Amino acid sequence: MSNYLRLTQLPSRSFFLFGMRGVGKSTWVRGALPDATTVDLLDEGLYRDLLADPSLFAQSLAELGRGDWAVVDEVQRLPGLLNEVHRLIEGRGVRFALLGSSARKLKVAGTNLLAGRALRKTMFPLTAAELGADFDLERVLRFGSIPLVWVGDDPRAVLEAYADLYLREEIRAEALVRNLPGFVRFLPVAALFNGQVVNVAGIARDAGVARTTVEGYLDILVDTLLAHRLPAYQTRTRVRERRQPKLYWIDPGVVRAVKRQLGEVTAEERGPLFESWVCTTLRAHAETAELFDELSYWASHQSGAEVDFVLRRGTELLGVEVKATARYHTRHLKGLRALDGLEGLTRRILVYAGARSFRTEDGIDVWPAGRFAEETAAGTLWP
């Protein structure tokens, strides 16, 4: 699919690797484990055979012994296989790479059987570090950086097909919702809340479904790795702070595809898309480095001040504010300055779409998007 070197590193023991469809899990594992025995549950014939007779799974791996690798692709399609995976790990020392585009069914169907026996990893769209010299912020904001889309000749057409594929294969085929038309109406409305606190009642009204249904639909977006809920940071001060989580879509191209809005990025879209790119960059690098223990945002009802991302590592805090403008202005520092004096705060960073790096008189680092990506990848985000 692509020749980009991914951040994901091969563990020495069994692991789950989750990620949205098309993100490159299968391509990566073929390169990392070229000699592994593969069970591809997207093969409909094999899937039906195993559904009818799960014992065929163990038979197909009969020759594997201690230290050998087996790959199960789209493992969420047959969660019951995890019982046999558990037995083979414990009894014969077989190592498994368990790939999935949804954690939803596994949550209900026994992933806990592997607790302590399999790591959990997540693969994200291509980061700036992975793209290297090919990184283009404007292209990422417009079309995203899913490998399937990035290497395509017509990214717009691929994204349109991707949105349909998600609905057809992930939602309908896995029977994740009973009311598919309602979910179809919900998606573009939820896309409008990218980077915002979710108004469940408003989405329910606009999509024409019940409020409880919307809450379930949001869970599906998170479980199928398309979106992430960012919790609010709670300080010990008496300042009244916002508590509801924000919703961030994982990839700018996908959020635009479900809105059927793939033309030039509008001024209205730009800020949330830029923020979601920063959020995904932080989360992607946290997979391979000790970037943070918790990621959240901070907002004060009292002052109206807000900071897009607060990273906590141990007792240390780091604030990151994101502005999509190419021109710096001191008003962009309002939220970060409101954090001054917060116990454990070690650094404040403003990420913007300009070209110049500098530090303000009160110690706030102002970085272009490229500098932010480089520092995050190098592990030097913290002072």
Q: What is the pLDDT of residues 29-38, one digit of tens each?
A: 999 999 999 9
Pair 80, 107: CB distance under 8 Å = no
- Token readout for 276 is 């979601």
CA angle 30, 118, 162 (to 5 degrees): 50
Q: Measure the CA–CA gap between 237 and 240, rounded to whole angstroms.
A: 8
Question: 122, 140, 171: which is the final residue of a domain?
Answer: 122
Q: Within this chain, do residues 92 and 65 fall inside the same structural domain, yes or no?
A: yes
CATH of the domain at 118: 3.40.50.300
Pair 321, 333: CB distance under 8 Å = yes
Q: Within this chain, do residues 226 and 372 fall inside the same structural domain, yes or no?
A: yes
Q: Within this chain, do residues 118 and 134 fall inside the same structural domain, yes or no?
A: no
Q: Within this chain, do residues 299 and 330 fall inside the same structural domain, yes or no?
A: yes
- Token readout for 155 is 């990214």
Q: Measure the CA–CA gap between 337 and 258, rounded to whole angstroms.
A: 36
Q: Is residue 130 situated within a structural domain? A: yes
Q: Within this chain, do residues 98 and 153 fall inside the same structural domain, yes or no?
A: no
- CA nearest neighbour of 235 among 303, 314, 317: 317
Pair 96, 70: CB distance under 8 Å = yes
- CA torsion through residues 61, 67, 73, 77, sign: positive
Q: How confident is the model at residue 259 (pLDDT cuts 50, 70, 90)?
A: very high
Q: Within this chain, do residues 224 and 370 fall inside the same structural domain, yes or no?
A: yes
Asked if residue 106 has pLDDT above 90, the reply is no
Q: Within this chain, do residues 105 and 130 fall inside the same structural domain, yes or no?
A: no
- Token readout for 67 is 């230290």
Between residues 123 and 234, the one the model is more confident about: 123
Provide mean pLDDT across the span 236-252: 76
Question: 74, 95, 122: which is the final residue of a domain?
Answer: 122
Q: Within this chain, do residues 131 and 81 fall inside the same structural domain, yes or no?
A: no
- Percent of the chain's residues with pLDDT above 90: 73
Confidence (pTM): 0.91
Asked if residue 342 has pLDDT above 90, the reply is no
- pLDDT per residue as tens digits for the range 206-239: 999 999 999 988 998 998 889 999 999 976 554 5
Between residues 1 and 227, the one the model is more confident about: 227
Q: Is residue 2 situated within a structural domain? A: no
Q: Counting every residue, how long is the chain?
A: 383
When divided into structural domains, the chain yields a total of 2
Question: 104, 122, 140: which is the final residue of a domain?
Answer: 122
pLDDT given for residue 238 in this prediction: 46
Q: Is residue 6 situated within a structural domain? A: no
Q: Within this chain, do residues 220 and 287 fall inside the same structural domain, yes or no?
A: yes
Q: In what order do the strands lie in the sheet with 227-230?
A: 196-197, 246-249, 227-230
Domain membership of residue 44 as a residue range: 15-122
Q: Within this chain, do residues 208 and 351 fall inside the same structural domain, yes or no?
A: yes
Asked if residue 103 has pLDDT above 90, the reply is no
